[in-house]
Amino acid sequence: MADFDIKDLDRRMEGAVSVLKREFGGLRTGRASASLLDPIMVNAYGSQMPLNQLATVSVPESRMISVQVWDKDQVAAVDKAIRESELGLNPQAEGQVLRLPIPELNEERRQEIAKVAHRYAEQARVAVRNVRRDGMEQLKRHEKDGDMGKDEHHANSTEVQELTDRVIKEIDEALTAKESEIMQV
């Protein structure tokens, strides 16, 4: 009996989906989202630190992000990191609080963000296909080594293909949802 593990392939494919959803969370739409600032790293205390380890990020309004910096000496570093990120945000400092107004997106910018979303989705599909290919190669190797018969190989490869189709469909649905969110005015 071969030690083929479909659960491992499922876990790896779902990992690609979770990475995709995290990347989608960082794509800016017309609404404010605390996850928008997740990728920002701040040069503080002599090293690069994630913004969420230096401040509390909240969304008081639909078009405003508030960043409450804990150490007043780090306000300038956090402000600089946000300005230098490619998010197009201009923080307004009020003591230890930075307010980030989220500007309206024009049609051209929405199209650019949608293209980035498509690129992220394609990267996720490629990752899923690579996992599928690894699984199929494992099955061929097991059959060649005599650990698995033709019928078992066929049944397992059908299962791998069904898993792949399900995960690709999940990626496409996530892309469609994100695209409609981006294009919403």
Identify the sign of the CA torsion 33, 104, 176, 23. Answer: negative
Which amino acid would we find at residue 78?
V
Supply 6's token pair: 């479909």
pLDDT at 132 over 90: yes
> Helix, strand or coil for residue 41?
strand
Which amino acid would we find at residue 179?
E
CATH C-level class of 6-25+106-183: mainly alpha
- Would you identify the CATH topology of the domain 31-101? Gyrase A; domain 2 (3.30.1360)
What is the tens place of the pLDDT at every residue in 52-63? Answer: 888 888 888 877
pLDDT at 100: 86
> Helix, strand or coil for residue 56?
strand
What is the tens place of the pLDDT at every residue in 89-100? Answer: 788 888 888 888
pLDDT at 1: 43
**6-26 and 150-183 are packed helices; what angle lies between their axes, rounded to 10 degrees?**
10
Rounded Cα distance between 47 and 44, Å, is 6
Q: CB-based contacts of 40: which residues, under 8 Å, 6+ apart? A: 50, 51, 81, 82, 85, 87
> Higher model confidence: residue 12 or residue 1?
12
What percentage of the chain exceeds 90 in pLDDT? 24
Average pLDDT over residues 123-129: 94
Domain ranges of the chain: 6-25+106-183, 31-101
| CA distance readout (Å), 141 to 66, 147, 163 | 55, 9, 20
What is the tens place of the pLDDT at every residue in 6-60? Answer: 889 999 999 999 988 888 877 766 667 777 777 788 888 888 888 888 888 888 8
Closest CA to 91 of 117, 55, 116: 55
> Higher model confidence: residue 54 or residue 133?
133
Question: How many residues in total does the chain contain?
Answer: 185
pLDDT at 57: 87
Average pLDDT over residues 163-168: 94
pLDDT at 2 over 60: no
Identify the sign of the CA torsion 83, 88, 93, 98. Answer: negative
Supply 163's token pair: 């898993």
Query: In the predicted model, what is the mean pLDDT of the chain?
Result: 85
